[in-house]
Amino acid sequence: MTYKICLLPGDGIGPEVIASAKDVLSALPIHWDFIECGIGFGEYQRSNSPLPDSTLQAIRHASAALFGAVTTPPNLPNYFSPVVRMRQSLDLYANLRPCKSIPHESSKANIDLLIVRENTEGLYSGIERIEDNGDKAITERVVTRKGSERIIRKAFDLAQQTKRKTVHVVHKANVLRQTCGLFRAVALEIAKEYPAIQMIEMLVDTCAMELIRAPEQFEVIVTTNLFGDILSDEACMFVGGLGVAASGNIGANVAVFEPVHGSAPPLVGTGKANPIATFLAASMMLDYLNEAESATRLRRAVSACIAAKESTPDLGGNLSTSEVTKKVIERINY
């Protein structure tokens, strides 16, 4: 079996971390057919579009895609964020953010949480308007039964597959009675299909507080778009921060995996970009491709490097991007 992987290096440190991930994936006993496609500001300067149709087509036809990061210039008229556009165009409805303890002093212990964020609707539906001559701004929050069903089912399925016992359904139905009310009602229905998993409801403000107080209580959190955006950034700080935070965007037959960080312009060419977030995104991609053994092998190699302080400066080490990559490959080959 050969997997066709669409690599999307993007801008800034994106090409550096994607090149490292390509080397690490190539060290595993799997056949890869890598194709590279353009995305981001550099691509816009070349082709006049930050997300050409040819890139979207290539992602659709690949087994999966691995994305680095893009630079989004502020104040450029007619420019659009290719990240948001890609998620919408490919209907990547589930944003998965695992938060797992790493063997490092900046990480809390005993955390193994998966945040499942709805990625296509909610407050990010893009329906906005101005009224009263500019004195009133309105954003519509759209929650549908279909959108809620598929994200909540994804959360329960993932809980079942990973042998977790609880799913926290996070909402604010006491105030947002219609939108969160529908999300909650759908969750209560779907939970009945999974008798082995306990559904726990939590209001989003309580959840933000509980994440700080006792993050280890959570196994899976499922929630709407904006709440998930905020809670997942909050949660990744307990487990090493941006240098190690990975995510996946999953649709019906398409998936794009990426580090959470951006293009970090000041780090370009310094060798200080931590490639580990991208390696962990690659390990999520391996899980998605049902290559669980290789996924585990990669995660173990990464953990061993972190524990041995074989890391870039953000994790207190003194190795460069390519040196960390070499160390991870050595440990894969042990």
Cβ neighbours of residue 284 under 8 Å, at least 6 residues apart?
Answer: 96, 98, 246, 247, 248, 257, 295
Cβ neighbours of residue 65 under 8 Å, at least 6 residues apart?
Answer: 5, 6, 7, 8, 59, 254, 255, 256, 257
Nearest approach, Cβ of residue 277 and ligand NAI (Å) = 6
Of 238, 147, 153, 234, which is closest to residue 199 (Cα–Cα)?
153
Catalytic residue among 22, 154, 172, 327: 172
135 is catalytic: no
Catalytic residue among 44, 124, 287, 327: 124
Amino acid at 199: M
C-alpha gyration radius of the chain? 20
With CB cut-offs between 5 and 8 Å by kind, which of ligand NAI, Mg ion, none does residue 263 bind?
ligand NAI
Nearest approach, Cβ of residue 317 and ligand NAI (Å) = 11
- Alpha-carbon distance of 295 to 208, in angstroms, equals 30
Binding span for ligand NAI by CB under 6 A among 126-134, 176-184, 260-268, 292-300: 260-268
Cβ neighbours of residue 62 under 8 Å, at least 6 residues apart?
Answer: 4, 5, 6, 35
Nearest approach, Cβ of residue 326 and ligand NAI (Å) = 17
- Alpha-carbon distance of 35 to 308, in angstroms, equals 33
- Alpha-carbon distance of 248 to 98, in angstroms, equals 9
Nearest approach, Cβ of residue 258 and Mg ion (Å) = 11
146 is catalytic: no
Does residue 262 interact with ligand NAI by CB under 6 A? yes
For the chain, how many residues are written? 334
* Residues that contact ligand NAI, how many (by CB under 6 A): 18
79 is catalytic: no
Return the residue of 8, 273, 284, 286 that touches ligand NAI, per CB under 6 A: 273
Nearer to Mg ion, 229 or 314 (CB): 229
Does residue 277 interact with ligand NAI by CB under 6 A? yes
> Tell me, what DSSP letter sits at residue 122?
B
With CB cut-offs between 5 and 8 Å by kind, which of Mg ion, ligand NAI, none does residue 90 bind?
none
Dihedral angle computed from the Cα positions of residues 268, 271, 272 and 275, in that order, rounded to the nearest 10 degrees? 90
124 is catalytic: yes
In the shown chain, the binding pattern of residues 85 to 104 toward ligand NAI, with x for contact by CB under 6 A and - for none, equals --------------------
Residues engaged in binding Mg ion (CB under 5 A)? 229
Which residues sit at the interface with ligand NAI, rule CB under 6 A? 13, 69-72, 83, 242-243, 261-264, 266-267, 273-274, 277, 314
Q: Which residues are catalytic, by number?
A: 124, 172, 205, 229, 233
